[in-house]
Amino acid sequence: MRPRADSLPRRDPVGIGLAILFGYFSIAVAFGVSGRSIGLPAVTVASLSVFVFAGASQFMAVSMLAQGAGVFSIILATLVLNSRHLVMSLALRNRITGHRVPRPLLAFGVTDEVFGANATVPGDIPDTDLLVTEALAYAGWVGGSVAGYVAGGFLPRVIERSMGIALYAMFVALIVPPIRRFPRYAVPAVAAGVTNWALQEAGLPVGIALLASISATASIFALAPRWSEP
Amino acid sequence: MSNVVLLVVGMTAVTYVPRLIPLMMSGRHRLGPWQRRTMSLVPITAVGALLVPGGLSAVDGRVDLSAIGIVAAVAITVTLRQPFLVVVGSVAAVALAITLGL
């Protein structure tokens, strides 16, 4: 039976954008609070969200700073983590239509969620629609980060002490859902953790150990489709 | 250039360029299967490496308090699925443990 035309997913850039806005806002609050909890100044937390606009790598940067990693290893690790957006931009490229929005502006907003929301709806994507979705997502991310930083100043001492776990709780929230859906992903995840731990025990600086364990385990497990495809 | 400025500029550049390149190319391009699989695995291995061992010394460098927070985070992710509640609940669990004298 063919689905009726009106039951097909419809393109709704504002609806998609608002959904992402609320999701991003709450996660960004956690980012703002944890940035403050490790002692970063407001301008650093805000500029990471304003200029980088890539949630997972911003959490990673804060965590690496807290663990004492150097600036260059954080930048390299960010490159490794965010190179996946190459695949997403590539997939969107042939579907974007219209010439009203400069491509470099559209490129800035290609996040996992913006891509995911557009990938699940078939058909062309007018460039103005994509920009609307991206702008709403951006507003949620930047607004939430600032709100989180400000809110972090009103927390009681015991909560402030406990905030160190916030980042890692966030990582748990990121990694558990894909592993529950595809349990085999647990193997490369655990392998990366064990490798990182072993490299740090062997005396490697934190940043280098993270970088090496993340890229080595991903590229090795990618050799075997069995472990690297859902 | 201060370390913070360098960090922000560097992270911005390495995040923006991979998003930009495909949109500026002409013609058809595809990545090989190994490259695509590596890129899709990186977020998984990154979180694994960030959690071990860093996550186990997250609260005052103490394994017990940190483990309570991680276990709470896993439990809330499985039941409630809301990232914001996961963070709030995990922090609350650690705060409770500290208040109870751990």
For chain B, what percent of residues have pLDDT higher than 90? Answer: 57
Q: Check B50 against A168: CB less than 8 A apart.
A: yes
Give the closest residue to A81 by CA, choosing from A59, A117, A56, A106.
A56
Q: Could you tell me which chain B residue has the CA closest to the CA of A88?
A: B19
Q: Could you tell me which chain A residue has the CA closest to the CA of B21?
A: A86
Q: pLDDT tens digits, chain A, 230 residues: what are they?
A: 444 444 445 678 998 899 889 888 988 988 998 899 888 999 999 999 999 999 889 999 998 998 889 999 999 999 998 988 988 898 888 889 999 999 999 999 999 889 888 877 778 999 999 999 999 999 999 999 999 999 988 988 888 888 888 888 888 988 898 899 999 999 999 999 999 999 999 998 888 898 899 999 999 999 988 877 77
In sequence order, what are the residues at sequence separation of 6 or more whose Cβ sits closer than 8 angstroms to the Cβ of residue A216?
A195
Q: Which residues of B touch A86 (CB under 8 A)?
A: 18-19, 21-22, 31, 39
Domain boundaries, chain A: 12-177, 182-230
Cβ count within 10 A of residue B88: 18
Q: Which residues of B touch A44 (CB under 8 A)?
A: 4, 7-8
pLDDT of residue A173: 87
Q: Could you tell me which chain B residue has the CA closest to the CA of A71?
A: B7
Residue A125's H or E segment, with its range, is strand A125-126
So what's the ipTM on this one? 0.86
| CB-based burial, A22-34: b 16+ in 10 Å, e otherwise | ebbbbbbbbbbbb
Q: How many domains does chain B have?
A: 1
pLDDT of residue A9: 54
Between CA A21 and CA A101 the distance in angstroms is 21
User: What residues make up the domain containing B11?
Assistant: 3-99
- In tens, the pLDDT along A98-151 reads 999 999 999 999 998 898 888 777 789 999 999 999 999 999 999 999 999 999
Q: Which residues of B touch A90 (CB under 8 A)?
A: 22, 29-31
Give the pTM.
0.82
Tokens in use for A140?
């949620």
Between CA A71 and CA A79 the distance in angstroms is 13
Between CA A185 and CA A224 the distance in angstroms is 12
